[in-house]
Copies of this chain bind each other. A is one copy, B any other.
Amino acid sequence: MNRVEIERKVLSENDRIAAGLRGRFLSQGTLCVNLISAPGSGKTALLERTLESLDPQRRVAVLTGDIQTDNDAARLRRYGFPVRQITTGGTCHLDARMISRALEDSTWGSLEILFIENVGNLVCPASYDLGEAAKIVLLSVTEGEDKPLKYPSIFLKSSLAILTKIDLLPYLQFDIERAEENAHHIHPAMEIIRCSSATNAGIDRWNEWLAKRRQEILRSKPEFETAGAS
């Protein structure tokens, strides 16, 4: 088997496990979102502001991936929701098997929202389906307007782009309209939210987006499950 065939086999095995996860999330009414960005674009900070804004009674959990350290899990645990670190030990992305194992080991039961914070990498995580309802790409305004054109795959596969750190715009030469045009050039129907975890700008819109997507999950839940859950 050559390298391309091996890659194909790994991805098809991943897709099989991801399909199982997607079925499980759907039957449990769980909205699962997969947050992807470059290192340091603010995935953890956005999740901190999000968890802080949520009613602590809600059934919400986080899986956070890193090559090394459990720094992100430690930051996120302060908000009272269950958080699990997946340390990949060198692997540049999360895969469906890592998610499946982490969920098997947990006692979380059925969740309303599962946030997955992927490894900081704008390339490789785009290839791995984790059974999520939506991939979400974060782009910090410190990174340059041309990133959607340079990393088209993740912008094509994400339902939503979050432009982060907009509080820094006054100090940067960053043309935010141009960045949005570039994202729409790659993915015309892409939704975009401008956000700052320093000022909380955009957090309400992001929570509305999550609520709307969760309703869609509940509406598409198989009949027999909806009946049982009422």
Q: Which residues of A contact B (CB under 8 A)?
A: 1-3, 6, 10, 38-41, 66-69, 71, 90, 92, 119-124, 140, 142-144, 146-147, 149-153, 165, 167-168, 171-172
Shortest beta-carbon distance from A205 to chain B in Å:
23
Q: State how many angstroms separate the Cβ of A75 from the closest Cβ of chain B.
A: 10
Closest Cβ of chain B to A201, distance in Å, is: 15
Taking a contact as CB atoms closer than 8 A, the residue among B40, B67, B124, B168 that contacts A92 in the complex is B124
Known: A3-B6, A38-B39, A168-B168. Contact between A69 and B124, CB under 8 A? no
The A interface is mostly helix, strand or loop, or mixed, namely loop
A-B pairs with lowest CB-CB distance, top 4: A40-B143, A92-B123, A142-B142, A38-B39
* In the complex, chain B residues whose CB is within 8 Å of the CB of A2: 6
Instruction: Specify the chain B residue showing the minimal Cβ separation from A39.
Output: B38
CA–CA, A38 and B144, complex, Å: 12
Q: Find out whether the CB atom of A92 lies under 8 angstroms from the CB atom of B90.
A: no
Q: Are B3 and A39 in contact (CB under 8 A)?
A: no
Kindly provide the distance from the CB of A144 to the nearest chain B CB, expressed in whole angstroms: 5
